[in-house]
Structure 1
Amino acid sequence: MVNFFYVNNINTLAKTARARQVYENDSVLKKIFSSHYQSLLPDDMFLTRIIKSDSSLIRKVLFFLFFLIKLSSLDKKFYVYSRNLYLLEVARKKGFKTVWEAHDLPQGRNKDSLTNLSQSSYFVAISNALKNKISEVYSIPLTNILVAHDGVDLTSYDKFRDLNKVDLRNQLGLPIDKKIIMHTGSLFRNRGVELFGVVLEELSDYIFVQVGGSNKDVTFWKKYFNKYSNIIFIEHQEVQKLIKYQLSSDLLFYMTSKNSPIYWCTSPMKAFEYLGCGIPIIASNIGSLSEIFNETNSVTFDSSDQNSLINALQFVGKNKDEIEKRSKQALVDVRNDFTWEIRANKIKIFLESCSNH
């Protein structure tokens, strides 16, 4: 059995996608590796838990000291697994096997850290596009890089799945006499939010419900779309309530833009949450999103072409049976390939194979 040490200086209680991803990983990896699992997160220690900011220099120093202490107590047979290249570089110098979980190409001094680790470590990339790019830029053998997309905890969706939409909407204060198209998550500018306007025009008989986004962004977009009466903005929700919102919708909308610096390599948790709803999805499939959304599990469009989105919206209106078929396939896809537990098992099998080399 592989010995696994998971370390990240990320506050898992924060309301960010990164925090959620680390929390979900820690929870399921602990289950998969069982007694062979160790971890170090800021939440584990009082001195780092009380400093909420991931960018705090004091917390970084304290966390690094705790990391060194932890390493000194571990057998060198442990794989040290992290999103932090510097911590891995330190662990490698101390004789540990290391695994970097890559979410983008490294920046700044992290480029040097990856260069130093490139021929002596293993890697987990969140998309095929990122795997291929890392291999190309840093001359890393493809066999040393596992692709493990992010995932979703389907049990959280299954417990609400059979609830009636009318009951859900009554609980949430949403209209029951209108169809709802929904987007959940952030509202960063130049990431495709402008496309809401196309949806509002084409699906004028729907209510567009936006859940989440910072107060500043919500204020901006409320003003931007103030001529429309069929859009509702709802503040950020805790996970269980967010799931109820998603399941209460008739359509889920996913957009991104080539203006996003990570559109080409991303593996957003929201994509798998959408698939896990078993509800029709209209999704941009540019970049690495094409590894997730396709013409069997969603209706896709090119976010750089408004006509492409219009065609997708019209397709939904004219092909009810096909849309229902695709939404069922979305749930099959996520159950077969994109749960956190499946992801953790992939990592375990990959490291076991590495140990046999």
Structure 2
Amino acid sequence: MTSSLFSFFYLSSLSRNGNAAHKIQISNMVSSFSKRKDIYFLCIDADSFSLRHHYHFHAFKKIFTVLLVVFTFLRASRRHSGPIIVYTRELPIALLLSFLGFNCFLETHTYTRKNSIIFALISELNRFRSFSIVFVFISDALRSRFKPSLQCGHFHSLVLHDSISIVDSYARRLPLDYSLLFSSLRSEYEFIICHTGSLSRGGLEYLIDLIPEYPECCFLFLGTSIPDFCHYASISTDDIPCNVRLLGWATHSVSISVQQSSDILLYLASSRNKDYWCTSPMKIFEYMLARKHIISAKTSSISEIGNEQHFFFYDIDSAESMDTALAASLLAIKKSDYTLPLKAYQHVTSSFTWDARVSRIVDLATQLY
């Protein structure tokens, strides 16, 4: 039997190996939990059973994996004394184990009416000593949206934005094919403006008409296919501006290298995306770590991460405001003014690390249990 201050179990029916943002988050959280010497820690996820899958899976396989994770946890937990804490991003796991008397931290990233009702029920159940779920919200904007549903009951909560791994700040060499591409682009364009990852948060529909107005800039989109680009820009293939370059999927490591090799980094969002106001995108932390100028949509959750001392903000759903931000960022580069990127780097490395995130979880657990 193991004896320690706490036994923390990170439970997930998903794999932590891969390039998707949720997998990178799980992997980094597991790494930071594992560094702690004052707790026992174990991660049980789909990798534990060679059952790796993504969000698009058969419903039966999902249910089976959840039950397998829970069963494995129940067997493992019998060997530990002292408080046992379960950390998960999955509501079914938290509900099931809380009904079995375990203390759970439930991390949530989105708002739905259905979850609002379930969370209200959880806050009522939290009145009973044998039932305990602590809510971890990815932004204060998200917690504020849920708060009316929780006020009638009893609940504890944390706001924990996504974070960064300092190792991602280390200078990385571009792979040869990307290095050759950047050399070619540098000979053709004065500036490289880069967006990495999915365009599903919107914003491209406002940027697309501005791109031809900046012929000295190459607009590079990493992780975007031609059909996706045309879909989100609402244009045909023939209408893609000549100073746009589309690069397909790349590993997380390559994405970091591309960010570090660009001049300006874009974070796009619009109200067409239902979660634009509450997300804590890992991309924005990577951008801050790259020490490059950042043009970002001004949303409630992004404003919690940084301000005008860190980003060139543009108003959501405003092409005119986006144009102003583009012009201001280019002017700063021409003046060799890198005040904002430096402040953004200092801010993110001092306030948003995975180790600090895990410390806040352990500190609250210490207070509660």
Residues 323 and 345 of structure 1: is their aligned pair in 2 closer, same or farther, counting only changes over 3 Å? farther
TM-score normalised per structure 2? 0.85
**Cα gap change, 1:102/1:217 in structure 2, threshold over 3 Å: closer, same or farther?**
same
Counterpart pick for 2:44 among 40, 48, 52: 40
What TM-score does the superposition give when structure 1 sets the normalisation length? 0.87
Indicate if the aligned counterparts of 1:283 and 1:293 stay in contact, CA closer than 8 A: no
Deviation at 1:201, TM superposition (A): 3.2
2: CA distance between counterparts of 1:181 and 1:26?
33
Indicate yes or no: 2:288 matched with 1:275: yes
Q: Could you tell me which of 273, 276, 282 is aligned with 1:263?
A: 276
| Cα distance, 1:250 vs structure 2 | 0.6
Name whichever of 195-204 and 233-242 sits farther off.
195-204
Local SS of the residue matching 1:3? strand
Structure 2: distance between partners of 1:12 and 1:287: 29
Q: How many pairs align?
A: 349
Is 2:133 the counterpart of 1:121? yes
Please list every run of 5 or more consecutive structure 2 residues that lacks an aligned counterpart in the other structure. 127-131
Alignment match, 2:161: 149
- The 8 Å contact of residues 6 and 39 in structure 1, kept in 2 or not, is answered as yes
- Alignment-derived partner of residue 329 in structure 2: 316
How far apart, in 2, do the equivalents of 1:45 and 1:291 lie? 38
SS at match of 1:10: coil
Which segments of 5 or more consecutive residues in structure 1 lack a partner in the other structure?
none
Shift of 1:34: 6.8
Change (3 A) 1:215 1:38: farther
More divergent stretch after superposition (134-143 vs 309-318)? 134-143
For residue 185 of structure 2, the aligned residue among 150, 175, 184 is 175
Structure 2 distance, partners of 1:241, 1:157, is 13
Name which of 66, 78, 82 aligns with 2:84.
Answer: 78
2:239 match: secondary structure: coil
- 1:193 alignment partner in structure 2: 204
CA apart distance, 1:29: 1.9
- Contact 1:7 1:40 survives alignment (8 Å): yes
User: Which stretch of the first structure deviates more once superposed, 66-75 or 236-245?
Assistant: 66-75
In the TM superposition, what are the counterparts of 1:1-357 in structure 2 within 5 Å? Answer: 1-32=5-36, 36-46=40-50, 48-49=51-52, 55-66=57-68, 67-74=70-77, 75=80, 77-106=83-112, 108=114, 110-111=115-116, 113-118=118-123, 119=126, 120-139=132-151, 144-160=156-172, 169-170=179-180, 174-177=184-187, 178=189, 179-188=191-200, 191-214=202-225, 216-218=227-229, 220=231, 223=236, 226-320=239-333, 323-355=337-369
Could you say if the C-alpha distance between residues 292 and 173 of structure 1 is closer, same or farther in structure 2, counting changes exceeding 3 Å? same
1:308 counterpart letter in structure 2 = S
